[in-house]
A and B are shown apart, each in its own frame.
Chain A
Amino acid sequence: MNVTLRDPRLDRPGQSHLGFVDCDVHPMVKSGADFDPFLAARWIEHRKTIGGRSRQGLARAATYPRMSPGVGQRMDAWPKDGSLPGSDLGLLREQLLDLFDVSHGLLAPLVGGHTAERNVDFAAAMATAVNEWQLARFCVPEPRLKAAVQITMEHEQSAIAEIEHRAGDRRFVQTNIPPRGIEPLGRHRYRRILAASAAAGLPISLHLGGTSGHPSTGGGWPSFYHEEHPSYVQTMQTLVTSLVCEGVFEEIPDLKVVLVEGGFAWLPALCWRLDKHWKRLKAEVPSLTKAPSEYIREHFWVTTQPIEEPERPADMLSLIEWIGPDRIMFSTDYPHWDQDDPRYAFKVKLPDDWSRMIYRDNAKALYHLA
Chain B
Amino acid sequence: MSKHIVASVAEIPPGGRKIVTVRGRELGVFNLGGEFFALINRCPHQGAVLCTGELVSRLVSDGPGDYRLARRGEMIRCPWHCWEFDIRTGQSWCDPDSVQARMYAVSVEPGEELAKGPLMAETVPVSVEQDYVVVEM
Contact = CB atoms under 8 A, between A and B. Distances in A.
The answer to whether A and B touch directly, with their CB atoms under 8 angstroms apart, is: yes
Interface of A: 1-3, 5-6, 8-9, 11, 67-68, 74-76, 337-341, 343-345
Contact of A337 (B45, B47, B82): B82
A75 B52 contact: yes
A341 B46 CA distance: 6
A357 B48 CA distance: 26
A59 B61 CA distance: 32
A86 B73 CA distance: 29
B48 A76 contact: yes
Given A8-B42, A76-B48, A1 B81 contact: no
A9 to B, nearest CB: 8
27 contacts: A1-B98, A1-B99, A3-B44, A3-B95, A3-B98, A5-B44, A5-B102, A8-B40, A8-B42, A11-B42, A67-B82, A68-B79, A74-B48, A74-B79, A74-B80, A75-B53, A75-B54, A75-B79, A75-B80, A76-B48, A76-B52, A337-B80, A339-B80, A341-B47, A341-B48, A343-B46, A344-B46
B68 interface: no
B108 interface: no
Most chain A beta carbons < 10 A, residue from B42, B52, B81:
B81
Interface of B: 24-26, 40, 42, 44-49, 52-54, 79-82, 95, 98-100, 102
A95 to B, nearest CB: 11
B82 to A, nearest CB: 5
A340 B46 contact: yes
Given A1-B99, A8-B40, A68-B82, 15 more contacts: A1-B95, A1-B98, A2-B98, A3-B44, A6-B47, A8-B26, A9-B24, A67-B82, A74-B80, A75-B79, A75-B80, A337-B81, A337-B82, A338-B81, A345-B46
